[in-house]
Structure 1
Amino acid sequence: MEGPDWVDPWTRGQGEARARALFSQTWDGEAKGVWSAPGRITIIGEHTDYNGGLSLPTVTPHRTYVAGRAREDGRLRVVSEAGDWLEGPGRTWECDMDLIDPTTAQGWPAYCAGVVWALRERGFDGPGLDLAITSCVPPGAGLASSGAVECATALAANALWRLALDSDEAHAELAEACLHAEEAIAGAPTGGLDQHTQLRCREGEALELDFSEHPPLAQHRPLYFPDYGLGLLVIDVRTAGRRRTEGFVERQRQCAAAAQALGVASLRELAGAPDARMRIEALADPVLKARARHVVAEIERVSDVCAELANTGPAHERFVHVGKQLYRSHASLEVDFDVSSADLNLAVDSAFRAGVLGARLVGAGFGGSAIALVRRAEADHVAARIDEAFVAEHRPRPRFLMV
Structure 2
Amino acid sequence: MSVDRQFAELYGYAPEGVWAAPGRVNLIGEYTDFNDGFVMPLALPHRAVAAVARRTDGVLRVHSADMDQGVVELAVADLVPGSGSGWAAYPAGVVWALREAGHPVTGADVQIASTVPTGAGLSSSAALEVVTALALDELYGLGLEPAQLAVLAQRAENAFVGVPCGVMDQMASACCTEGHALFLDTRDLTLRQVPFDLASHGLRLLVVDTRVKHALGDGAYAQRRAGCEAGARALGVRALREVPYVQLSDALARLNDGTIRRYVRHVVSDNHRVERTIALLDAGDLRGVGPVLTEGHASLRDDLQVSCRELDLVVSVANAAGALGARMTGGGFGGSAVVLVEEEAADLVTKEVKAAFAAAGHTEPRVFPAVPSGGARRVR
TM-score band, normalised by shorter chain: over 0.9
**What are the equivalent positions in structure 2 for 1:192-211 lying under 5 Å apart?**
192-211=167-186
The alignment partner of 1:138 has SS state of coil
For 1:156, the aligned partner's letter is: A
Instruction: Choose the corresponding residue for 2:135, options 153, 156, 171.
Output: 156
CA RMSD for the aligned pairs?
A: 1.4
Instruction: Choose the corresponding residue for 2:206, options 206, 230, 233.
Output: 233
The alignment partner of 2:177 has SS state of coil
Aligned to 1:37: 21
C-alpha contact 1:140 1:241 (8 A) present in aligned 2: no
C-alpha contact 2:95 2:105 (8 A) present in aligned 1: no
C-alpha contact 1:319 1:357 (8 A) present in aligned 2: no
Aligned to 1:172: 147
Higher relative contact order (CA 8 A, sep 6+): 2
Aligned to 1:48: 32
The alignment partner of 1:195 has SS state of helix
Aligned to 2:259: 287
Deviations 1:57-116 (A, max 9, x none): 1110111101111124221111111222xxxxx232011111112454211111001001
How far is the alpha carbon of 1:295 from its aligned partner? 0.5
**Distance in 2 between the 1:138 and 1:270 partners?**
35
Deviations 1:6-32 (A, max 9, x none): xxxxxxxxxxx6311321221111222
Percent of pairs with identical residues: 40
Question: Aligned pairs, how many?
Answer: 370
1:394 lines up with 2:361 in the alignment: yes
**Distance in 2 between the 1:240 and 1:25 partners?**
35
TM-score (norm 1): 0.89
**Larger deviation, residues 97-106 vs 192-201:** 97-106
**Larger deviation, residues 334-343 vs 95-104:** 95-104
How far is the alpha carbon of 1:262 from its aligned partner? 1.8
**Larger deviation, residues 232-241 vs 387-396:** 232-241
The alignment partner of 2:361 has SS state of coil
**Larger deviation, residues 281-290 vs 36-45:** 281-290
C-alpha contact 1:48 1:298 (8 A) present in aligned 2: yes
For 2:40, the aligned partner's letter is: L
C-alpha contact 2:98 2:105 (8 A) present in aligned 1: no
For 1:371, the aligned partner's letter is: V
Q: Which runs of 5+ in 1 are unaligned?
A: 1-16, 85-89, 313-317
- Runs of 4+ displaced beyond 6 Å: none
C-alpha contact 2:24 2:122 (8 A) present in aligned 1: yes
How far is the alpha carbon of 1:125 from its aligned partner? 1.6
Deviations 1:255-276 (A, max 9, x none): 111112222221111133x332
How far is the alpha carbon of 1:374 from its aligned partner? 1.6
Q: Which runs of 5+ in 2 are unaligned?
A: 371-380
How far is the alpha carbon of 1:245 from its aligned partner? 4.7
Deviations 1:247-292 (A, max 9, x none): 11000111111112222221111133x3321321442211111111
How far is the alpha carbon of 1:180 from its aligned partner? 0.7
How far is the alpha carbon of 1:395 from its aligned partner? 0.8
For 2:85, the aligned partner's letter is: Q
Aligned to 1:131: 110
Aligned to 2:273: 301
TM-score (norm 2): 0.94
Aligned to 1:12: none
**Distance in 2 between the 1:203 and 1:303 partners?**
21
